Structure 1
Amino acid sequence: MDETDITPLIQYNKYLDALEGIPTHAQNGSIMTAADHALVIMVRGLTTNWKYPLTYHFSKSSMSPQLLKSLLLQSISSLQKIGLQVRATVVDQGGSNQGVYKLLGVTMEAPFFEHNNNKIYALYDVPHLIKCIRNNLFNYGFLVPVDVGNLPEHHHLVGEYSAEIMKAEKCQLQDAYRMDKFNKVFKRSSGKGWAWTRIPEVVQAVEKKFVPLIQPKGTHRPYEVVIMTDLTREIEPIEVNIVPYYGSSANNNGAGIDENLYSRQRYVLGEEALARMAASNILISGLGGLGVEVAKNVILSGVKSVTLQDATTTTWDDLCSQFYLRKADIGKNRAEQCLKHLSELNPDVSVLTSKEPLTPELIGKEKYSTVVVTESSGVSNLLEIGNWCHDNGVSFILAETKGLFSRIFCDFGPDFSVLDVNGENPVTTLIAGVTKEEQGVVTCLGSPDGFQDGDFVKFFEVQGMTELNDHPPIQIEVTGRMTNYIRGGVVTQVKMVKKLSFKRLEESIAAPVYIIADWGKLDHTETINIASQALDAFVNQHSCRPRPYNAEDADSFVKIAAKLATRREITLNVKVARIFSFICSGQVCPMNGFVGGVAAQEVMKSVSGKFHPLCQWMFFDSIECLPFEFDGETGAVMSTLDETDFQGSGSRYDSQIAVFGKKFQRTLGDEKWFVVGAGAIGCELLKNFAMLGLGGGDKGKIFVTDMDLIERSNLNRQFLFRPKDVGQAKCVYYRKPLLESGTLGIKGSTQVVNPNMTESYSSSQDPPEKSIPICTLKNFPNAIEHTLKWARDLFEGIFKQSAENAAQFLSDPRYLERTLKLPGSQPLEILESVKKCLMDDQPKDFQGCVTWARLLWEDSFNNTIQQLLFNFPPDQTTSTGQPFWSAPKRCPKAMTFTTEDDLCVDFVFAGANLRAEMYGIPQVRDRTLVGNMGAAVHVPVFQPRTGVRIALTEAEAQSQSGTLDSDRLEELKTTLKNRVDFQGLKITPIEFEKDDDSNLHMDFIVAASNARATNYSIELADRLKSKLIAGKSIPAIATTTSVMSGLVCLELIKRVGGETNIEKYKNGFVNLALPLFGFSEPIAALKLKYHDTQFTLWDRFEVQGEMTLKEFLDHFKDRYNLEITMLSQGVCMLYSFFMQKEKREERLKSPLVQVVREVSRRPIEPHVKALVFELCCNDRDGEDVEVPYVRYEIPPSLLNN
């Protein structure tokens, strides 16, 4: 079975009397469109040599694993019906095919599936097996000894390979040139008799001859490569001990990290951390609500394998927080029932299950990197497990939730290395000067923010005091005798490895070291720790947990906790301990979301060394969510509660009812909420809403809005989406509460906005982004951010803005007239770009596009630099005698075009093809051919001109951009007046899209930026970093979204419960890298006053229309003793005291709705039921006074007029 791309084409088949080329299976809407994929299923004989095409299908986009599985099984059934015995299926290793085999239950231990009582082996085709071995060697830096030639069976391969590497003693395949040559060897060898029966020899040769350059942390389970030489006998697997390659989805062809899938996470963690994670095996014990949350986040992160260990069967209590279990799963094993759903999250991760008890033997047998326990009650030997992990180099994490209480413990062993403590980008700044004293001083340009005492730094590009360059990292000081500093240099912060030693669980329980999760609850931390241990003692005595809100059980529980506290010399918070007893039998999904996100991030830290681990305990609660009041000392419930209201009744919400009660559950069901955005946080919110039962009642509703389309990078965080969904469509005035949350990589924040209580969302604003001065961008860049911004502006200017101007000129006969009315120099700039597009630079064919791109390269990276150096030579000095080319300026050098330089070829290749797309000219995607075409273009010799002004400051740049050449404008107007010359010409503007690697947008920007960086001796940026900066990509990771959505939903519970005390609400800030958690109560709405009336931004004047403007003014004077001096609606001034008398008198007589229509010159839309007016008023003393806005309700009789 194989799927391939096809050229979209619909044609009539006269033999079948049918149209071919349209999708035969509609996956995403209408099928009446040309298909771009075809699936072919062939059947081949084993005992005799024959093959036959069995069936074919067309589809729009790649078929989903579910559809492929259905078509495969249908085909097998059809063959069985005619008497053929199907013994095996063969597919390539694309992501969809891997998904098919997972759906069929194929594993390494059981490489087959059953259909109609027949065992059918699942195979991958041999060329892809070889390809995956090759990619694996590339990705992990394997070495190839030249004595691979000792294998006589493969002398043709050895000979060609030896010739390609020129008999080098050793070569590292990571080198791009070697990789390309080795790839060609495989391609040539494919036609030289490589038979299926010979593949075992290849695998054995690989196992014997290829040795890893760097062995990643931990040991790994070997792959089993199933070799089939005779399908009439049993399979004999061959074990190959090689580290698995990272990713095998269809989008990355099995070659390394799938950048589109993991790009946002890669911005957060970096490539090294991702590679370490890809080689790690994780065991998660306990698949309840918290366990599945941890599993979801870890699987999305892209580890090698996740084993779900759970011997427990599903009960009603699981259904309110375990989002992959249903009513039909009750009585079945939890891990097995959610295996399918978790496997679908990431086809690159092997997800397994185990019903064996959690023992050291189980952990040691499978060689896990990290073990996570989410239900300690199900692990009788918890301390033994913790000790074994500590002694055997396995990271151990304990994470638990009990109602609205939680705890997390981490033990990463006695010697753990943190490679990056905080995850912040290293600080880099330019050097202004270095003194030569014994304790020298390095002076940097700009703000020193980011550097701290004791930081280690490295120096580069220092002229004069060259001893600093490439010196090993040193602390911030300069010592010893050095030569004189002349100029230049860059200082960069260096991340140093931090060593940590963790205590084992057994030691840490008695004397816990913990971080504070909420500084407003300092006395809760020790009590939650004691209560967690008291729960184990209570269960041992009573064989069950305390019953929800049972006073007798709570008394017994508090006594146990008090004894433990006395023994530890700790002051017990009786209220917190009692509430713990009341709700510890329940589960709350948002709490699992918060804790599961934190725990999953700790898993990633344990295997990657990225970010500082949690040392070692964290206790967190959110008991302020409870809609009841408790006595501050005894914890007794102040309200009259019926214990039966908290007892289960065979409902999916039983475990949540144990916390909040049935009455509150009904209230949740009747809620109506609006979710703005179905992105990463939106998906998590919808999950939490569904598990809470929010809006699930007869009166409730959840509304979702999102205008964006699903991208492949979304799949790494937005767990409700699958690959088949890619490309699909995803408060103050109304006095509604707003729960806002946001993430930036590993950081996140939440904000609660409550009507009549807190400030609004817009009451505070983020600081504006720092802008780059125009003169810096145009002439004096000193950082890669400057060259990337310049490259992005170049792209927008020539492929979008200029094209839009030209397209509008062609389509709008009045465009020239309207353009000439624009202010400043805009008419000249726009018409210049139109003339270039339509006349000067218009290509007739692809050669014309190449010529344009080649001349643009020459002008940008050679001529402009020569002119700059002509105006300001390298030895130029300022009026004070200082070198002109000193920090922050970098002295540039012109580039020379050559096909040997990839930057030159890449720029012309991408630029020419984008130009062709803009003019509708067929593109040429042969990079070498286009590069040679560019090299053959005749380029005039450039001579610098005198009298050219180059802006040195922002003010000069602004001044030059505002200068208008009237004569040139008149010339352009005359030239472009005859529109007949452009008939038939069509220009298509290009909208920048960073995530489509085939459109050459990022290719152009990377080449342009790095070429300009080469001009100015700035360190080049790879594609990923360029996409992050130029594409303004936002780093994101699933764990942060899980944490923040959990916190937001806890605030939602308070709102639904009718909480009116602002101190109970929490705005949150989280940095999982440190880790740091900060909570504060929302800022109260600012209170203002007019006369004796107090108001906030939530207040307003309600006025019922219709009335004349004079009646409106009199209404405020008579009722509120306020004189309106100005009245506006939007940007329209309806009335003012300085208005001309005639106009004022006329408006005073008119109805307000009529005044609004006349002044705005627009009709009032039918859906508008009320108008908003802003007032300027004087009080009774004639002083200006601030007042609320006015909501003016339009009478129904006027709505349709």
Structure 2
Amino acid sequence: MDSTKMQIDSPAAEGHIDEGLYSRQLYVLGHEAMKRMSQSDVLIVGLKGLGVEIAKNICLAGVKSISLYDPTPAAIADLSAQFFLREEDVGKRRDEASAPRLAELNTYTPVSVAPDNVLTDLSQLSRYKAVVLTDYPLSKQLRINAYCHENKISFVSVCTHGLFGSIFCDFGEEFAVVDPTGENPVSGILAGIDETGLVTALDESRHGLEDGDYVTFSEVEGMDDLNGAEFKVEVKGPYTFSIGDVASYGTYVRGGQFTQVKKPKIINFKSLADQISQPEFVYSDYAKFERPMQLHVGFQALHKFQEAHGSWPRPMNKEDAAEVYKTATEIAETYGDLKPELDEKLINELSFQASGNLSPMCALFGGMAAQEVLKSVSCKFGPIVQYLYFDSLESLPSSVERTEEACKPLNTRYDGQIAVFGKEFQDKIANMKQFLVGAGAIGCEMLKNWAAMGLGSGPNGKINVTDMDTIEKSNLNRQFLFRPKDVGKLKSECAANAVQHMNPDLEGKINTMRDRVGQDTENVFNEDFWQGLDAVTNALDNVDARTYVDRRCVFFQKPLLESGTLGTKGNTQVVLPRVTESYSSSQDPPEVSFPMCTLRSFPNRIEHTIAWSRDLFETYFVQSVENVNLYLSQPNFTDSTLKQSGNQKQILQTIKDYLVTYKPITFEECISWARKEFEEQFNNNIQQLLFTFPKDSLTSSGTPFWSGPKRAPSPLTFDAFNPEHMQFIKAAANLHAFNYGIKGTNIDDSTYKRVLDNMIIPEFVPSSSVKIQASDNEPDPNASEGTGFSDQAELNNLADSLPHPSTLAGYRLTAVEFEKDDDTNFHMDFITAASNLRALNYGIPTADKHKTKGIAGKIIPAIATTTSLVTGLVCLELYKLIDGKNKIEDYKNGFVNLALPFMAFSEPIPSAKGKYMGKNGEVVLDKLWDRFQYDSDITLKEFLDDMEEKGLEVTMLSSGVSLLYASFFPKKKREDRYHLK
């Protein structure tokens, strides 16, 4: 067929990256990796559930083009995992039916169907940067891989069989990984370098380096030739490292910083033919250390069976399993010293599930394989070298009997799942009542998996999904159920509609809500709601919401499946009533914060200046405006509100500036205000700081004041031809104009130039009366200007100089509401410019708008591949919940980092237990899950008697703030007071 059929032209300009669409992904991959991806064509062979999952993730990531090849007619059983096929597509070519729906995901990535001879005329593969084979015969894999290996085409082969999966990667010889880990280079301030080359970090800060890392130095005094030179590191301790002999560099005096240098890693991949006989494994589960080699042999035996019979072994068929096991034992004999001890039950299970097709496994391996493809074309992150095997046999049900009759195909969309679990378990899945909290990235993937599984589709089944957010453009890169036409619509409704089209059995089975789950909505998510659930799944992006849902699950004794992602990292957690600890039982480390005096006067990192500029944004355009509006709306503002504030004088002065002194009428006056603030922040304040602490200042101990983390600043002289200076002026003027409702559109550069040329900036004279906090150990001199401000007369004069609110009836300013993703609102322009100007004051390397947005907006890096993998792991645990497993060893918490790559599992932590001596001996209680519950009303005396019978003494009983009973009253008074006779 014509290779151009269904081609959709890319509207992207060569090398252009749409930061609005890819913003969260850019914080993971970076611009260079994204550019390499945007120049790479990818071929994907096989469009069942696994193939379409890989194609979906690669398409969202944004490669140059994707070609699909799978001429096989779609079968009804494909719908067990192939979410882009519909029942009306049965009988059509899988690639032709899937291509249009995949093409909708990303207008920057054209999707086409490859020509029919793409795998027979291998020369056609030369146009691709990467080739992906899914569920493809091994003998044909060998032929295609040989061509790819010789022609430096990246090759990935991946397959799943029920709860088993395998992936193989070959990126050719001398493959260079530009950034093996994806972590930001570590850096730090020096405390010293001795004559032996031992480097000590300042204030015993952990340096974060490892043996073999490389570092460069800058701003080191006394060892000038050291600056810019590169050294290999030998770690001596958490705070020290050695760089070897430095005798020729002179003697260290003071100052300096070190920065880690990222070095490319060269990997020599071997061909599939070589790796089959001598495999290298990445271990996915260290509790199954002996299993990869067994599965390596078992998968080869499966392929031999498929080639001999033209089909995979039949579900739960013992004859087919015996043949697979016999073949596996013969293959194992060829491995000599590598020969594995085969577990017959394991190989039999592999045969029993060979024709099974599970959406969670496709999500897991589809996320992993797609990331490997992206690694191969971007050279970012460490690849799988070269095999990875995985199984989740723990997910097999024990509550139903799996027989050949129970697992036979029924000509339904769930046949791929029935082949593994049986029809009876499929009915259990269909009748689950599930609550999904959140319909964003994880929520979309979860709903897609549930739709393919048929979760909640039965007569007693139900899915409740809630999300208060609406869809934004940046969501489209990883929340694949949404399309550009959905921007602005409610996430929960769009997601539900999308998966109901995927599986019509869910029509009328999804209850969509737009309420935040919290204390203010307990009338919506009431007791009846929670009691009607079988399980809860979180798909949230903040700790507070997770903690609240967790508490409700503990209160109502409901199992909770928790997960989260951060770039290439992800985790899953199972919370099981009366068995495991809850999400809230452990806490994440607190968010990093910076000392106030560092932000105010002594920044030494770009993160410090970004935090300062973000605060300046709030001060100028939010807090000051809100104070003005409070003054205008509250008659007693100066009497009551100010007495509770930390700085009465500053607030009054701000109100006067905004309502009198610098109140603008025209946009030109907003430009003047911006120029005045430039001078104040980047010149005058720096001059004052240097007046208070001159560059030659010494501390009380005789050491230079400007040393270590304190960098001596320099004032900036305004230059209208400097783009950074003008960016501050333009952004500040437009935001100030917005506060006052002044139109600032279509103001050309000539207007700015005219206003700036006509301004007279008075010379600044530093004052000896200004006090500056030298460290956080000293009291803040500004704090004295609180409620105990000494000069009440000055305060009264300031208050009297303000216009009375009655003279400005109805007048209000408009506060700015920070929005980081709108490139036209000047918010990030201002913060970036202010941060970089302050960085220039202190000699700190500046940051572009993209990096500044990530830090100032606290953006969580996110990619579709990690989300796909994590939801696959969650759904494997969901199978266990549906089965009713209640032993802690049945479940697994997962931890992944696709960048390394790394995958590990641990048994959930059991809930804490306590004990007490009852009347009949020691009683063990679960401190988290146990409670004394009464199903009917009882009197206080009956309750106290029951507690006494249990061996417990009640000393106090309360409800909220009301004391209902106290044991400290004398007995007679207790009996009379509480009617206990």
Q: 1:1134 — aligned with what?
A: 963
CA deviation profile, 1:271-314 (whole Å, cap 9, x unmatched) = 11111111111111111110000000111111101110112110
CA contact (8 A) 2:955 2:968 kept: no
Alignment map for 1:515-554 (pairs within 5 Å): 515-554=282-321
The amino acid across from 1:564 in the alignment is I
- Summarize the Cα distance change of 1:384–1:362 in structure 2 as closer, same or farther, 3 Å threshold: closer
- Summarize the Cα distance change of 1:972–1:1094 in structure 2 as closer, same or farther, 3 Å threshold: farther
Of the two, which has the highest radius of gyration? 1
The amino acid across from 1:421 in the alignment is P
Q: Distance in 1 between matches of 2:598 and 2:586?
A: 31
CA contact (8 A) 1:741 1:751 kept: yes
Over aligned residues, Cα RMSD in angstroms? Answer: 2.7
Q: 2:924 — aligned with what?
A: 1094
Q: 1:396 — aligned with what?
A: 155
Structure 2 counterpart of 1:1005, from 831, 848, 861? 831
Query: How much does 1:445 deviate?
Result: 4.9
Q: 2:209 — aligned with what?
A: 451
Alignment map for 1:491-640 (pairs within 5 Å): 491-568=258-335, 569-628=339-398
The amino acid across from 1:868 in the alignment is L
- Summarize the Cα distance change of 1:873–1:360 in structure 2 as closer, same or farther, 3 Å threshold: farther
CA contact (8 A) 1:248 1:254 kept: no
Q: Distance in 1 between matches of 2:965 and 2:762?
A: 64
The amino acid across from 1:585 in the alignment is S
Q: Distance in 1 between matches of 2:24 and 2:59?
A: 15
Q: Distance in 2 between matches of 1:656 and 1:1104?
A: 40
What secondary structure, in the 3-state scheme, does the structure 2 residue paired with 1:585 have?
Answer: coil
Alignment map for 1:1044-1123 (pairs within 5 Å): 1044-1091=870-917, 1092-1096=922-926, 1097-1103=928-934, 1111=941, 1114=944, 1118-1123=948-953
Query: How much does 1:366 deviate?
Result: 5.0
- Note if 1:277 corresponds to 2:40: no
Alignment map for 1:848-859 (pairs within 5 Å): 848-859=669-680
What secondary structure, in the 3-state scheme, does the structure 2 residue paired with 1:401 have?
Answer: strand
Query: How much does 1:821 deviate?
Result: 5.6
Q: Distance in 2 between matches of 1:439 and 1:642?
A: 70
Query: How much does 1:550 deviate?
Result: 1.5
Query: How much does 1:1148 deviate?
Result: 5.9
- Note if 1:426 corresponds to 2:190: no
Query: How much does 1:812 deviate?
Result: 4.0
Percentage identity across paired residues of the two chains: 47
The amino acid across from 1:613 in the alignment is P
CA contact (8 A) 2:166 2:390 kept: yes
What secondary structure, in the 3-state scheme, does the structure 1 residue paired with 2:360 have?
Answer: helix
Alignment map for 1:914-933 (pairs within 5 Å): 914-926=735-747, 928-929=749-750, 931-932=752-753, 933=755
The amino acid across from 2:963 in the alignment is L
CA contact (8 A) 1:264 1:1036 kept: yes
- Summarize the Cα distance change of 1:1128–1:764 in structure 2 as closer, same or farther, 3 Å threshold: farther
- Note if 1:322 corresponds to 2:143: no
Q: Distance in 1 between matches of 2:965 and 2:256?
A: 60
CA contact (8 A) 1:422 1:1074 kept: yes
- Summarize the Cα distance change of 1:919–1:1065 in structure 2 as closer, same or farther, 3 Å threshold: same
Query: How much does 1:880 deviate?
Result: 2.2
What secondary structure, in the 3-state scheme, does the structure 1 residue paired with 2:25 have?
Answer: helix
- Note if 1:772 corresponds to 2:598: no
Worse-superposed segment, 476-485 or 508-517: 476-485
TM-score normalised to structure 1 length: 0.71
CA contact (8 A) 1:994 1:1002 kept: yes
Q: 2:520 — aligned with what?
A: none
Q: 2:529 — aligned with what?
A: none
Structure 2 counterpart of 1:264, from 9, 14, 24? 24
CA contact (8 A) 1:819 1:827 kept: no
Q: Distance in 1 between matches of 2:834 and 2:76?
A: 60
- Summarize the Cα distance change of 1:850–1:1140 in structure 2 as closer, same or farther, 3 Å threshold: farther
- Summarize the Cα distance change of 1:962–1:650 in structure 2 as closer, same or farther, 3 Å threshold: farther
The amino acid across from 1:1134 in the alignment is L
- Summarize the Cα distance change of 1:365–1:519 in structure 2 as closer, same or farther, 3 Å threshold: closer
The amino acid across from 1:806 in the alignment is V
Q: Distance in 1 between matches of 2:347 and 2:975?
A: 73
Structure 2 counterpart of 1:660, from 412, 417, 421? 421
- Note if 1:697 corresponds to 2:462: no
The amino acid across from 1:979 in the alignment is P
Q: Distance in 1 between matches of 2:482 and 2:828?
A: 26
- Note if 1:807 corresponds to 2:565: no
The amino acid across from 2:611 in the alignment is K
CA contact (8 A) 1:907 1:1004 kept: yes
Query: How much does 1:619 deviate?
Result: 0.2
Worse-superposed segment, 936-945 or 827-836: 827-836
Q: Distance in 1 between matches of 2:5 and 2:49?
A: 29
- Summarize the Cα distance change of 1:1148–1:528 in structure 2 as closer, same or farther, 3 Å threshold: farther
What secondary structure, in the 3-state scheme, does the structure 2 residue paired with 1:562 have?
Answer: helix
CA deviation profile, 1:642-684 (whole Å, cap 9, x unmatched) = 4221111110001110001111111111111111111111110
Q: Distance in 2 between matches of 1:644 and 1:110?
A: 43
Structure 1 counterpart of 2:132, from 350, 355, 372? 372
- Summarize the Cα distance change of 1:366–1:465 in structure 2 as closer, same or farther, 3 Å threshold: same
Query: How much does 1:1082 deviate?
Result: 0.6
- Note if 1:874 corresponds to 2:705: no
- Summarize the Cα distance change of 1:847–1:506 in structure 2 as closer, same or farther, 3 Å threshold: same
The amino acid across from 2:252 in the alignment is Y
Alignment map for 1:723-872 (pairs within 5 Å): 723-730=484-491, 731-813=553-635, 815-816=637-638, 818-820=640-642, 822=644, 825=646, 830-872=651-693
CA contact (8 A) 1:281 1:368 kept: yes
Q: Distance in 2 between matches of 1:355 and 1:844?
A: 67
- Summarize the Cα distance change of 1:446–1:727 in structure 2 as closer, same or farther, 3 Å threshold: farther
- Summarize the Cα distance change of 1:936–1:462 in structure 2 as closer, same or farther, 3 Å threshold: farther
Alignment map for 1:1151-1162 (pairs within 5 Å): none
Q: Distance in 1 between matches of 2:819 and 2:965?
A: 48
The amino acid across from 2:159 in the alignment is E
CA contact (8 A) 1:310 1:355 kept: no
The amino acid across from 1:575 in the alignment is K
Q: 1:36 — aligned with what?
A: none
What secondary structure, in the 3-state scheme, does the structure 1 residue paired with 2:157 have?
Answer: strand
- Note if 1:467 corresponds to 2:250: no
Alignment map for 1:644-655 (pairs within 5 Å): 644-655=405-416
Q: Distance in 2 between matches of 1:255 and 1:611?
A: 21
- Summarize the Cα distance change of 1:449–1:739 in structure 2 as closer, same or farther, 3 Å threshold: farther
The amino acid across from 2:88 in the alignment is A
Structure 1 counterpart of 2:11, from 241, 248, 255? 248
CA contact (8 A) 2:61 2:864 kept: yes
Q: Distance in 2 between matches of 1:418 and 1:460?
A: 27
Q: Give the unaligned 5+ runs of structure 1.
A: 1-104, 113-121, 125-246, 630-638, 1152-1201
Q: 1:712 — aligned with what?
A: 473
Worse-superposed segment, 545-554 or 855-864: 545-554
Query: How much does 1:362 deviate?
Result: 4.0
The amino acid across from 1:695 in the alignment is G
Query: How much does 1:1101 deviate?
Result: 2.2
Structure 2 counterpart of 1:296, from 53, 56, 64? 56
Q: Distance in 2 between matches of 1:1103 and 1:958?
A: 56
Q: Distance in 2 between matches of 1:501 and 1:338?
A: 35
- Summarize the Cα distance change of 1:892–1:295 in structure 2 as closer, same or farther, 3 Å threshold: same
* Aligned residues between the structures: 895
Q: Distance in 2 between matches of 1:1134 and 1:971?
A: 51
What secondary structure, in the 3-state scheme, does the structure 1 residue paired with 2:873 have?
Answer: helix
Structure 2 counterpart of 1:1022, from 833, 848, 854? 848
CA contact (8 A) 2:944 2:954 kept: no
What secondary structure, in the 3-state scheme, does the structure 1 residue paired with 2:933 have?
Answer: strand
TM-score normalised to structure 2 length: 0.87
